[in-house]
Amino acid sequence: MAVVSKSINFLAYPPRKAEKRVRPARSRTDLCKLQSDGANIEDISGQNPKPWRDTEVVPAPEQTRSVTESFATMIHGLKVDHLTDHVLQRSKRMILDALGVGFLGTSTEVFHKVSQYSKIYSSNTSSTVWGRPDFRLPPTYAAFVNGVAIHSMDFDDTWHPATHPSGAVLPVLTALSEALPQTPKFSGLDLLLAFNVGIEVQGRLMHFSREAMDIPKRFHPPSVVGTLGSAAAASKFLGLSLTKCQQALAIAVSHAGAPIANAATQTKPLHIGNAAKHGMEATFLAMLGLQGSKQILDLGSGFGAFYANYSPKVLPNLDSHIWLLDQQDVAFKSFPAHLATHWVADAAAAVRKHLVPSDGTLFPSDHVERILLRIPDVQYVNRPFPDSEHEARHSFQYVACAMLLDGSITVPSFHSHQIERPQVRELLKKVELEHPPDNLPSFNTLYCEISITLKDGTTFTERSNTFYGHWRKPLSQEDLQKKFRANTSTTLSSDTAESLIKIIENLEDLEDCSVLTTLLKVPSPPVEASKRSSMLSFHHTTSPGLTNI
């Protein structure tokens, strides 16, 4: 459109068509009824079980359609009516958790550095950094720093196959909804749809390669699939045409992919920030008509360049769309460290009970001869003597020792004075790793077995197959909210935190997303420094019990 290119600010994009829901908007009562009935959404939504069939012009399924085109068709074609209750519930939990983790992350050093850096940019179009009402950045950089905040402690959600899905998507949508106010306004359902499209694209892409199923060895998945998820979510939110959805994916691929070797450093959180930013940039460039390869997802020299074995498949028709999030939930972490360490913490807590029978007793480090961890071979989480917060978050050994010594792992467990305690360094020397052949590096199947042998020869063994927070043993809604309250306690007043919890609980009924984004820039309350640590020590006091054998 000529008008767009003439305009100095191309972001003055033509208004979206109002998303017309065929299905009547559901009220809270309907939702409650749904939950109590356990009924399928289609059963009560009226006479029209799959209303989009009547309204959506679905391209005829052709064998010749490319994978890339099928993704663009999915991004462009999914409607709010496709969202199931299950997907709505799960995605709202992800949004709440990502927000809380992000607010907590605004206290980190890496957040401070990337904020300093991003301050060199300004723009007439701007978005807020969460919790910093006076700190406005161009939407791309707001998404960047908020994305860094979310992953700054490695505290964000984890999916299977392995990636952190929410961090690359949510900051894009909050930044866009603030920077590009539209007519009609973005609703909560618009946000949920775009969010889920961004998550779905990431999930679908991870099913094209055997390599993607496992914990990564070359590229950090959020930097690969996250960049495309961001582009997909932004394209959906801004209502791009089918062709431009496809171009946004192609451009995003040229911005994707960061090697995993920067794990356990301050640079890893940038992978999520950049995924958010680069996907948004790709979308803006596609809006300006920039063109890339039409086969980007089909080619080994395209998206396949990031995988050793890549066999993409055309997506099924939208008539039979099933959300991956419907079938596979995410894991929520209870403490800020690599997901694989959560099994270690779980097993260590169980074995500790044999050695520290009553509260108040110290862990008898001196009696311990050897601590054996039977875990999968994940090199970048094998750090016998971590030297920094970031290394400790990627250390099986550290998490085991901290749990044994302290009885819990919390946010302050990764402060440098905790890591450097002489008791910890002493205990770390006793840790040995074993990689049983049946213990594969997959978040769906891995386990941790811990055996502590005392100097008198006694051995205690415990095993964790599933920690609390894993998708097989989901965090309760109460504990998820508790995590959110703790994470936001230094940056939000408790009124604001409660409002956010409520708004996200009912996000599908929110008429105007600006209610949400306004709350994200409420100034922080004055809080005593000491308050935070204790507020964050929620883990293993609220857990409904550990699974050990």
Report the interface residues with a second copy, using CB under 8 A: 5, 8-11, 110, 113-114, 116-117, 120-125, 138, 140, 217-219, 223, 250-251, 253-268, 270-271, 274, 281, 284-285, 288-293, 295-296, 299-306, 379-380, 388
Q: Which is nearer to a second copy, 114 or 546 (CB)?
A: 114
Q: Which is nearer to a second copy, 267 or 466 (CB)?
A: 267
Q: In angstroms, rounded to a whole number, what is the distance separating the alpha carbons of residues 69 and 76?
A: 10
- CB 291 to a second copy: min, Å: 5
Cβ neighbors of 153 (< 8 A, separation 6 or more) are: 101, 104, 105, 108, 336, 393, 411, 414
- CB 544 to a second copy: min, Å: 37
Burial zone of 528 (CB within 10 Å; 0-12 exposed, 13-18 middle, 19+ buried): exposed
Q: Which is nearer to a second copy, 14 or 316 (CB)?
A: 14
Place of tokens 């305009």: 7
Strand spans (E) along 442-486: 448-454, 459-464
With b for 16 or more beta-carbon neighbours within 10 A and e for fewer, the 366-404 pattern comes to eebeebbbbbbebebbbbeebeebbbbbbbbbbbbbbbb
The Cα diameter of the chain in Å comes to 82
Structure tokens at 8: 């100095």
- CB 339 to a second copy: min, Å: 18
Q: In angstroms, rounded to a whole number, what is the distance separating the alpha carbons of residues 99 and 95?
A: 6
- CB 157 to a second copy: min, Å: 21
Structure tokens at 449: 């077995």
- CB 246 to a second copy: min, Å: 12
Q: Which is nearer to a second copy, 80 or 270 (CB)?
A: 270
With b for 16 or more beta-carbon neighbours within 10 A and e for fewer, the 65-77 pattern comes to ebbbbbbbbbbbb
Q: Which is nearer to a second copy, 122 or 506 (CB)?
A: 122
Cβ atoms of 490 and 532 within 8 Å: the answer is: yes
- CB 282 to a second copy: min, Å: 9
Closest CA to 352 of 414, 413, 284, 404: 404
- CB 309 to a second copy: min, Å: 13
- CB 170 to a second copy: min, Å: 21
Q: Which is nearer to a second copy, 126 or 466 (CB)?
A: 126
- CB 385 to a second copy: min, Å: 15
Q: Which is nearer to a second copy, 112 or 472 (CB)?
A: 112
536-539-542-547 Cα dihedral, nearest 10 degrees: 170
- CB 513 to a second copy: min, Å: 21
Structure tokens at 355: 């050695």
Closest CA to 234 of 221, 222, 219, 251: 251
- Within 10 A of 211 (CB to CB), how many other CB atoms are there? 18
Q: In angstroms, rounded to a whole number, what is the distance separating the alpha carbons of residues 408 and 139?
A: 38
Which H or E run contains 529?
helix 529-536
Q: Which is nearer to a second copy, 26 or 278 (CB)?
A: 278
Q: Which is nearer to a second copy, 307 or 335 (CB)?
A: 307
- CB 176 to a second copy: min, Å: 13
Q: Which is nearer to a second copy, 121 or 425 (CB)?
A: 121
Q: Which is nearer to a second copy, 288 or 356 (CB)?
A: 288
- CB 279 to a second copy: min, Å: 14
Region of 360 please: left (phi>0), alpha (psi -120 to 50) or beta.
left
- Within 10 A of 105 (CB to CB), how many other CB atoms are there? 29
Q: Which is nearer to a second copy, 8 or 529 (CB)?
A: 8
